[in-house]
Amino acid sequence: MRVYFDYNATTPLAPGVVDAVIAATRDLFGNPSSVHYYGQQAKAALDEARSAVAALIGAEPSEVVFTAGGTESDNFAIRGAAETLEQTGRRHLIASAIEHEAVLNTLKALARRGWRTTLLPVDQTGIVSPDRVRELITDDTAIVSVMHANNEIGTIQPIAELAAMAHAHGALMHTDAVQSTGKIPVDVRALGVDLLSLSAHKFNGPKGTGALWIKRGTRMQPLLTGGKHERNRRAGTENVPAIIGMGAAARLAAAKMIEEGRRVEALRNRLEDAILRTIPGTAVNGARQPRVPNTTNISFDRVEAESLLIALDLEGIAVSTGSACSSGTLEPSHVLRAMGLPPHRTQNSLRFSLGMYSTQEEVDRVIDVLPRLVEKLRGLTRKAAPV
Ligand SMILES: Cc1ncc(COP(=O)(O)O)c(C=O)c1O
């Protein structure tokens, strides 16, 4: 039995999405910018997908710009707005210290071009405090960027409150909603943001496609220079089959989110409770609420996370030590470090993220295997330790 509990890294395609992508690849080869029949067929399908994505986040279709995924959306949001706001003399950017690298490294790149950047600290809850924003925001701040849900620990941030604060200082509010879209209700108006990033492969759609929601009236400099695609906001012929797949995934997520959320949350809680109960020296990292329903991040005292990850993989169980981008290195997670967790927790933590195809049998398989593996690895650590 193989178990995939790494849905925050990426998700398998939903039933229906594969068919939609295949059919579009085969039948809709026209360029959506072409005026003839073939182009207009593709354009109509693209517009349907745009409406589905807009409906999932409570937006107008015309505000949705298709991109090549979450990373591009984050880059576009921050660089596109920064380049426009630079002209107003604003030169300060704020983001939380637990953002994805797509945001953090974009801030670093802008810092090299003279922007002042501030990272908002978080405490052990893994939630940004609006008080910190109040202290650090100035009338020079151009953009505040705080993710909706964290990819490593799943905590949900108080975006509406942060957005109100950003606006009170004349700044724009961006949220990276890559890990919340499709998992919990996301409503751009209720969040009160100006820019929102999402990525299809995190909600059972294809990889390499996503969207940036740009509130109507927000002035943005495009990232790419080229043709007039996407209303002059994102040059390049659209990836029609992938976008149609994203539309299908968005429709499915909208229809099933609440019911699926409850189901997955019960499985996540079953797993989490059993681990805490049966394995001594375990703790959940970050606040358990508010949190997306599919994620838990747990530290295992005296067990090196990479060793446990490999031991689980040998048993056919796929989990993660944090963000996929930093795996393969032994760098402890920047999120857990920013939360102020001690090294024995930042280096000993695993993320379990569940989703559409997760079952109780899979949870029980992990609960069955994990205590034995932890005990074995702890035994090895004891033997290796000098007496
Ligand atoms: C919070 C967050 N933002 C952005 C990204 C990047 O998205 P993509 O893989 O579509 O570029 C990820 C992916 O791990 C993510 O978790």
User: pLDDT digit string (tens) for 12-65?
Assistant: 999 899 999 999 999 999 999 999 999 999 999 999 999 999 999 999 999 999
pLDDT, tens digit, 9 for 90 and up, residues 161-219 = 999 999 999 999 999 999 999 999 999 999 999 999 999 999 999 999 999 999 999 99
- Measured in Å, residue 77 CA sits from the centre of ligand 1 at 14
Residue 318 pairs in a beta bridge with 4
- Segment 289-318 shows an average pLDDT of 97
Q: Which two tokens stand for residue 134?
A: 């109040």
Residues with CB under 6 A from ligand 1: 69-71, 74, 100, 102, 147, 151, 176, 178-179, 199, 201, 210, 323-324
Measured distance CA(353)–CA(297) in Å, rounded: 8
pLDDT of residue 331: 80
CA of 202 relative to ligand 1 center, distance in Å: 8
Q: Which atom of ligand 1 is nearest to the CA of 149?
A: 1
Nearest ligand 1 atom to alpha carbon 147 = 1
Cα separations in angstroms, 325 against 148, 152, 187, 321, 364: 19, 11, 28, 10, 28
Residue 230 corresponds to which tokens in the numbers above? 């996407």
Q: How many CB atoms lie within 10 A of CB 308?
A: 21
* 10, 179, 204, 325: residue to mutate for ligand 1 pocket, most atoms within 8 A of CB: 179
As given in the structure block, the two tokens for residue 184 are 């919990």
Q: How far apart (Å, rounded) are the C-alpha atoms in residues 270 and 264?
A: 10
**pLDDT of 344:** 86
Q: Which of 174, 197, 202, 223 to mutate to test the pocket of ligand 1 (most atoms within 8 A of CB)?
A: 202
> Contact at 8 Å (CB) between 11 and 355?
yes
What are the distances in angstroms from CA 170 to CA 83, 84, 152, 321, 343?
A: 16, 14, 31, 38, 39
Whose tokens are 């402890």? That residue is: 332
**Residue having the nearest C-alpha atom to atom 7 of ligand 1:** 70
Q: What's the token pair of residue 139? A: 């009338």
Q: How far apart are CA 216 and CA 63, in angstroms?
A: 6
Residue 177 carries which DSSP code? -
* pLDDT recorded at residue 387: 43
Q: Which of 23, 55, 283, 325 is catalytic?
A: 325
57: amino acid identity, one letter:
I
pLDDT of 324 strictly over 70: no
Residue written as token pair 């102020």: 340
Tell me the backbone φ, ψ of residue 102, rounded to 5 degrees. Answer: -60, -30
Ligand 1: which atom is nearest the Cα of residue 325?
Answer: 14
Q: Which residue has the tokens 């703790």?
A: 283
pLDDT per residue as tens digits for the range 230-255: 999 999 999 999 999 999 999 999 99
Centre of ligand 1 to C-alpha 83, Å, is 23
CA of 230 to the centre of ligand 1 (A): 22
Q: Give the span between the Cα atoms of 303 and 107, in whole angstroms.
A: 34
Which sign, positive or negative, has the C-alpha torsion 325, 327, 331, 333? positive
Written as one letter, the residue type at 350 is L
Whose alpha carbon is nearest atom 8 of ligand 1?
A: 70
User: Ligand 1 centre and the CA of 104: distance in Å?
Assistant: 12
For the question of residue 325 being annotated catalytic, the response is yes
What distance lies between CA 221 and its chain's CA centroid? 24
